[in-house]
Amino acid sequence: MNKTLEQMLVEQCAPTLAGVKPANLFRCPDHAELYHSVQEWNNRLRASGIRIRVLKRCRRTHACLIYVCRWDWICRTLAQQDTAEFLRANGYDLSKGTEGVLCQLSRRLCVQEDFPHEIGVFLGYPLRDVIGFIENQGQNYSCCGHWKCYGDADRAQRTFDAYKRCTAVYKRMYRRGVPLIKLVVAA
């Protein structure tokens, strides 16, 4: 059974919808109505501070990467001095604002064979863990869940557990008939 974009948003993005995580990224099969559905949900959720966009469409698999974010949270994250310096050092032009930086990330996703590891910044992973992943080439981490942690493992594990609980609650509520729009916590 093919899942609708609405179902995938609940299953893959509950922590972002709940306002406890700045962003999520998930793979979705491309289909005739996908871009229309993304635009429709983007318009419906914008008032709550959430934006949705297709970051990449794979030519080989025809799957799309859908990015869902709390716009103000991502803007604040990218404006933090240490994050901005990290992104500049990795070739991002921050003078184009958040929208421009997301376009640069999208281009990198489309042209690079491997995932650009700085994507963790855009998903709300601690900068220390993003840098640790790059420096250690994905090895030597202290714990692993939604990301590989190179910093405070206890704090990361509590965060992983909170995301898991949030997702379980949202999925349960959605199955019981609560519409997605009612599950969204406004910014």
User: pLDDT tens digits, residue range 73-123?
Assistant: 999 999 999 999 999 999 999 999 999 999 999 999 988 888 899 999 999
CA atoms within 13 A on the CB side of 154: 0
Output the average pLDDT for the chain: 94
Helices (H), the chain: 5-17, 34-45, 71-79, 81-89, 97-111, 119-122, 127-135, 153-175, 180-183
Q: Structure tokens of 103?
A: 């376009």
Q: Which of 62, 67, 68, 66 is nearest to 29 (CA)?
A: 62
Average pLDDT value for residue range 60-69: 90
pLDDT tens digit sequence for 128-167:
999 999 999 999 999 999 999 999 999 999 999 999 999 9
pLDDT for res 1: 44
| pTM of this structure | 0.94
pLDDT at 2 over 70: no
